[in-house]
Chain A
Amino acid sequence: MKVKLGLTVLALCGAVLCIDVGTALAQSYPSKPIRLIVPWTAGGATDIFARIIGQKLTEGWGQQVVVDNRPGASGIIGFEIAARAVPDGYTILLAAQPFTVNTSLFSKLPYDVVKDFAPVTLMAYTTNILVVHPAVPAESVSELITLAKSKPGQLNFASMGSATTGHLLGEMFKIMAGVDMVHIPYKGSAPAMTDLLGGRVSLMFDTVPSAMPHVKAGKLRALAVTSAKRSPLVPDLPTVAESGLPGFESAPWYGAVVPAGTPKEIITKLYTEIVKILNMPDVKDRLSNYGYTIIGSTPEQFADFIKTDMAKWAKVIKDAGIHVD
Chain B
Amino acid sequence: MDYPTLLVQAAVNGLVIGTMYMMMAVGFTLVFGIMRVVNFAHGEFYMLGAFAAFFTYAQWELPFVVCLLIAAVTIGVLGALLERAIIQPFRSDELSGMIATLGLSVIIQNAAIVMWGPTPRSMPNVIDGVLTIGPFTFPLSRLLVIVAAALIFAAFWVFMQRTRTGRAMRAVAQDAETALIQGIRVNTIYPIAFGISVALAALAGVLMAPIFSVSPFVGLTPMLKAFVVVILGGLGSVPGAVVGGLLLGLIESFTATALGSLVADILQLLLVILILLVRPWGLLGQKEA
Verify that A and B bind, or say they do not: no
User: Which residues of B are in contact with A by a Cβ distance under 8 Å?
Assistant: none
